[in-house]
Structures are given as structure tokens and as C-alpha cells.
Structure 1
Amino acid sequence: MPHIQANGQRLFYTDTGGDKPVLLFSHGLHMDHEMFAPQIDALADRYRCVAWDERGHGQTGPATARFSYYDSADDAAALLDALDIPSAVWVGMSQGGYLSLRAALTHPERIAALVLIDTQARPEPAERIDTHQKTLAMWREHGFTDAMADNTAQRILGEDFADTAYWQDKWRGFTADNVYYLYDTLDTRDDISDRLGEIDIPALVIHGTDDRAITLERARDMADRLPRSTFVTIEGAGHAANLTHAEAVNPHIEAFLAGL
């Protein structure tokens, strides 16, 4: 399986290859590169699709030290360097959007456009941070229980998603020490909403109307602050709209890419 060494990390990635415009896919918390399978299946005939597992996730493996989403942005840029890709359209879901927005501030030359799915520019609300601390304490004491698996699935995947059990099995492999670092990164991220005006590139903002993790209001605020954004909602979709409602999300992505 392909990995690169960058910034003290051994990062896993997939690459469909070819001499085509490049899409870089960055997943959300608790997820991995596989969450973009519906988009890669739909787009790989016209685009080179690169997807990766971020620190603490998938085949990149557990996080072992504190890091920030700026570090993750540097990881993604290093992956493009290793693959000799000057720039790409960055597609980010939730925390994948957090790192993509920060990359747009720190590595603007590497980003041709942004597709931001169920994400935001503001910091984590205080009540969510408290919930994360309680969840981590339970994880340390009891492990990842079935109740936690169900709550996590409802928050990310919504109700009645066919592949919920598959993702829950993945989450059972997370250790409490790894989750500590992931939550630390999530909960201590900075507010970049006032800097979004600096990101003068085309951006597509996609948000599920039933997202329980990030409000529609926060997504709309982000879209309003981005100078060249298009905002679309996906009716009935939760936090992972691209995975659970791909048939509604994919046409918006395809139309956006075609117009670049």
C-alpha cells in the first residue's frame, strides 16, 4: 500500500493516476479515505483522484503527539509534493475542510479551488468541547461501547445508512490515547472566519440540512465570507452528505468542476 514520509508522519494515500486535473480528498473526524468512494467512482474517468488518511486515522495510524490542522494542511501539501502535483482542487469534509481552509491561507498556490462539505470556519462550541471530554473519559473507562457507536453513527451518518456497521467496526479500532489527540486538535482549533476574505478562489460549499454536528447557519456564514463561493444544501442529509447522499451531492461537484 502506498505511503509517504512527511513531517514525521507515514501518510497513507490512494491515487487513481493519469494526466488529468487533480482532486485531493480530505476526510472528516473518525472517517478515512474510503468515505469518498462515491465521488472517486463518479469522477476518476475525468480527474486524477488522490485521497489520504489524515493523522490518527485509517492506514496512517494513531496520532502520538499533539498537532493542529495547520500541521495537517502541511501534510497534505507534502503529499502533493511527493506526487509532483503543483496544485489541485481540495475536497474536504468536516475536519478535511478545516485543514483545506487553513491550507488556502498558508499554501494558496497549491489550491485551484475548494469543495467544502459539512464544514465551517468557526471554532468548536463550548458545549461540544464538554461533550468530547465526557466521551473521552467514557472511552478510557469502558472502551468504545455499542451506545457510543450508535451515537457516533447518528451524528455522522444519520439514520438508516446501509453501511453504518462497517464504519462502526472501524471506530472500534480507535484507542483512547489516539482519540485524545484527535479531540485536542478539534477542540483547540482557531477561529479563521475573519480571514476567509483572503481566500480568493472558487469554492463550492455543500451542507446537509439535517447535519447534527455543524449547523446550517455556520456553513452559510462561511460561504457568505468566502469571496467566490457557491452554497448548496442537500435536503435530508446529515454530516457526511457526500457519503450518505452521494446521488444528490455528486451532480453539484461535477457541475462546479466543469465550470472551473
Structure 2
Amino acid sequence: MPHVDLNGQKIFYEDTGGDGPPVVLAHGFLMDLSMFDPQVSVLAPEFRVIRFDARGFGRTQSDGNRFTYWDSAEDCMRLLDHLGIERAVVGGMSQGGFLALRAALKWPDRVKALVLISSQGGVDDAETLAGNRGMLETWRQQGPIDPIIHTIAGLILGAPEHWEPWISTWRKTPVETLVAPTLALIEREDITDRLGEIKQPAIVFHGDADAAISLERGRLLADKLPGCKAFVPVKGAAHASNLTHADQVNPPLLAFLRAHA
């Protein structure tokens, strides 16, 4: 699949094509578009599923400059422009949800509905922020050593049975590519007070064992969105619930999209 030059980045994306309603899925921090393989296999060809690698991850070639999730949201909109799509469901996991919420705020006429997985409108607590900064600094000094990689894998993926191929990918990731994405994550602003502006239908999924963003924060997100149709706790799931527990995510996701895409 192709790359496209957008906003000074060479964005890698995949598009299932077809005449179905378009659905964009944006991945989480340290992940790439393949984390939505379990959804694409169910949604296509009924829906046209579009995925892309965010700045700093996967096969996207980023300029390495600082950016915010507003920039990431614009990357998403410009990709839709490139594909000739005026309106789409926009969804995302974790940082992909940060992007999706900002897209709905800035381009409300272009976002038909929202799919939000393990995300929030707020910011992380001081302990989490310090941990993220420490992770980046240790990675800089010592490389992707096992204590870091295993901690990250546990937070994002949960049980070790879910860790591959992700930890092998992280071990090969140059720390330079992580600086700008980590700063975007750490320095994002709190948009909780603006969630009431987002009127589109939404569905919120959240792992009940998510230690990266608590279940309570996911529930708060759902409560603050006027158009939220369902809050779906995913039993036993850590952060990447759509990847590790697709059997619980896909049926309500499919029902939501059939009703609102």
C-alpha cells in the first residue's frame, strides 16, 4: 500500500476500498496500523476501513519535528482529502482517540461518528508523566532494555502471550524517532471541558484491567460526550483491548457502525 505526502510527512496508509461507509482507525502510542487487523477482518468489505501509521511509528516517514495531536488530527483529515472522502467515522485507540476527539472538535462536519478505545479527554497524572519521561530518558541512555520493554508490554498488552510481535519491534526502534511522539503524549492539553461540544454519536471501549488509563477515566469520557451511545467495559483487557480481546470489541463495534456510519 502507498505513502502520501501530507503536512510535511510521508504518511503510510492502508485502505480496503469499496463502496461501504468509510471508517478511519488511528493506532495507539508505540503501536502501528496493524493493531487493527482484528477489526479489518470483520468490518471489510461492509465498511471501507482506512488506517495509517502515525508520526514516529510504523512505516510513516516523519520529519522528526515537534507536533501535537491537533497536527495528527490534521494528518487524518488531509488523508481523507487525498482519498476524496468528505465524511467518515473516525476512531482511535489511546493516542488515536486523542486525535479523533480533536478532529471532531475542529472539523465537526467531517466526523460522522466516533469510536474511542482506551482513551480520555484529560491528561495523565504526575506519576504517569514522570514515568513516561523516565522511560524516554532510560531508552536514550541504555537502549530498549528488558525492564522497560516488559513494563510497556504489560501496560499496553497485558499478559505475555500478547507481547509478540510488538516487543521485537520495540527493540529495533531508534530512540530518536520516539522523542517527538513522547513529547506530544506528555504535553497534550486537557480537553475535558470541551467534550460537551462533541455531538456526534460515539461508542467508548475500555479494558477493565487498563493500568495506563483507568476504567474510571474511560467512563468519564463516555459520560461527558453528549452523543455517546454505549460504554463497553472489556473484561480482562489491558490498554489495547481491541487487539487482545477482539471477541468482546468487534460485535458491539459492528452494531454501532451499522447504526451510525
State how far apart, in whole Å, the 2-side matches of 1:63 and 1:160 are. 33
8 Å contact from structure 1 (residues 155, 213) kept in 2: yes
8 Å contact from structure 2 (residues 7, 75) kept in 1: yes
Aligned to 1:237: 237
TM, length-normalised to structure 1 = 0.97
**1:34-91, Cα deviation, whole Å (9 max, x unpaired):** 0000000001020011000000000003551110000000000000000001111111
State how far apart, in whole Å, the 1-side matches of 2:164 and 2:47 are. 30
State how far apart, in whole Å, the 2-side matches of 1:175 and 1:126 are. 26
State how far apart, in whole Å, the 1-side matches of 2:96 and 2:157 are. 16
The letter for the 1-side match of 2:36 is F
Unpaired segments ≥5 residues, structure 2:
none
State how far apart, in whole Å, the 1-side matches of 2:181 and 2:22 are. 28
Aligned to 1:170: 169
The letter for the 2-side match of 1:157 is L
State how far apart, in whole Å, the 1-side matches of 2:127 and 2:46 are. 43
Aligned to 1:34: 34
SS at match of 2:123: coil
State how far apart, in whole Å, the 2-side matches of 1:204 and 1:63 are. 33
Aligned to 2:199: 200
State how far apart, in whole Å, the 1-side matches of 2:134 and 2:50 are. 35
State how far apart, in whole Å, the 2-side matches of 1:157 and 1:62 are. 25
SS at match of 1:151: helix
Aligned to 1:223: 222
Aligned to 2:210: 211
Aligned to 2:178: 179
Deviation at 1:165, TM superposition (A): 2.4
8 Å contact from structure 2 (residues 9, 63) kept in 1: no
State how far apart, in whole Å, the 2-side matches of 1:28 and 1:70 are. 15
SS at match of 1:227: coil
The letter for the 2-side match of 1:92 is G
Write out aligned runs for 1:139-158 (5 A).
139-158=139-158
SS at match of 1:242: helix
8 Å contact from structure 1 (residues 121, 191) kept in 2: yes
Aligned to 2:253: 253
8 Å contact from structure 1 (residues 124, 186) kept in 2: no
State how far apart, in whole Å, the 1-side matches of 2:28 and 2:161 are. 17
State how far apart, in whole Å, the 2-side matches of 1:199 and 1:131 are. 31
The letter for the 2-side match of 1:219 is G
- Count residues with an aligned counterpart: 259
Write out aligned runs for 1:91-102 (5 A).
91-102=91-102
Deviation at 1:107, TM superposition (A): 1.1
The letter for the 2-side match of 1:123 is V
Work out the percentage of aligned pairs sharing the same amino acid: 47
8 Å contact from structure 1 (residues 32, 54) kept in 2: yes
Unpaired segments ≥5 residues, structure 1:
none
RMSD, aligned α-carbons: 1.1
TM, length-normalised to structure 2 = 0.97
Deviation at 1:174, TM superposition (A): 2.1
Aligned to 1:115: 115
Q: Name segments (4+ residues, structure 1) moved above 2 Å.
A: none
State how far apart, in whole Å, the 2-side matches of 1:252 and 1:30 are. 26
**1:84-120, Cα deviation, whole Å (9 max, x unpaired):** 0111111100000000000000111221100000000
State how far apart, in whole Å, the 2-side matches of 1:29 and 1:220 are. 21
Answering whether residue 46 of structure 2 is matched by residue 46 of structure 1, we say: yes
Which has the larger displacement, 104-113 or 24-33?
A: 104-113
